[in-house]
């Protein structure tokens, strides 16, 4: 008897299907000798819970800003520890340079698809640096914020994803490394959990799958 509680697993990209965000950001900060205080203050102002709705990150993630426009704005806020300017051209590519897929998570998603579980990607995009071949292999449905003009945690992007899946919220589980996005998914009725590592995420999925695990 199939007693599973979920039919689909929905996952974020950066920090969930990849190595942790702090790890690849640290590689970039160290490699370019970026002033961490300046970077941290900028990110908090643009991504914190009190960030203005028209800030550059929100506009990038909804496709209102091009990658080049965003890179210019971000580079203008940064400086190296020895006082040099930070080059804007290719800034996002350099920032995400070591954001490699997490092999354990790739294996997890492959196993889910092999077991008949529907898989979906739901990602707030900072440009289009996704490994498209891998996405097509891993996911039945791909929802990227900049392509549809909506971003997490807006409830409309979760509803859009559910519509694409053709499933009710309570039959889907969502994983993200950002608590605010987990809260957004729960608000529309999805099972939602903060991702920290493949082992704990697998445990949550197995629990939700019940006897089908």
Tens digits of residue pLDDT in 29-78: 999 999 999 999 999 999 988 888 899 999 999 999 999 999 999 999 99
**What pLDDT, on the 0 to 100 scale, is given for residue 178?**
95
**What pLDDT, on the 0 to 100 scale, is given for residue 57?**
96
Residue 169 has pLDDT above 50, yes or no: yes
Band (pLDDT 50/70/90 cuts) for residue 5 is confident
**What pLDDT, on the 0 to 100 scale, is given for residue 211?**
43
Residue entry with tokens 């807006």: 154
Residue 117 has pLDDT above 60, yes or no: yes
**What pLDDT, on the 0 to 100 scale, is given for residue 3?**
55
**What pLDDT, on the 0 to 100 scale, is given for residue 212?**
43
**What pLDDT, on the 0 to 100 scale, is given for residue 4?**
64
The stretch 14-28 carries a mean pLDDT of 96
The stretch 115-136 carries a mean pLDDT of 95
SS3 label, residue 119: strand
Q: At a CB cut-off of 8 Å and minimum separation 6, what does 75 contact?
A: 85, 86, 87, 88, 91
Query: Are 9 and 117 a contacting pair, CB within 8 Å?
Result: yes
pTM of the model as a whole: 0.93
Query: Are 183 and 153 a contacting pair, CB within 8 Å?
Result: yes
């Amino acid at each position: 008897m199939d007693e599973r509680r979920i039919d689909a697993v929905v996952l974020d990209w950066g920090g969930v299907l990849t190595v942790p965000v702090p790890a690849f950001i640290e590689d970039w900060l160290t490699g370019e000798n970026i002033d961490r205080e300046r970077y941290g203050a900028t990110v908090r102002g643009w991504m914190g819970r009190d960030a203005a709705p028209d800030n550059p990150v929100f506009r990038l993630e909804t496709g209102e800003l091009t990658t080049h426009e965003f890179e210019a704005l971000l580079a203008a806020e940064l400086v190296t520890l020895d006082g040099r300017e930070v080059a804007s051209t290719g800034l996002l590519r350099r920032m995400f340079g070591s954001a490699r897929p997490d092999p354990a998570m790739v294996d997890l998603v492959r196993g889910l698809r092999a077991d008949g579980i529907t898989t979906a990607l739901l990602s707030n995009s900072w440009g289009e640096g996704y490994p498209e071949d891998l996405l097509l292999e891993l996911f039945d449905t791909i929802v990227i914020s900049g392509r549809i003009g909506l971003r997490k945690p807006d409830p409309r992007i979760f509803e859009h994803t559910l519509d694409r899946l053709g499933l009710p919220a309570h039959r889907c589980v969502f994983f993200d490394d950002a608590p605010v996005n987990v809260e957004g998914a729960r608000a529309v009725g999805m099972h939602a959990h903060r991702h920290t590592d493949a082992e704990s995420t697998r445990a949550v999925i197995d629990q939700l799958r019940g006897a089908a695990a």
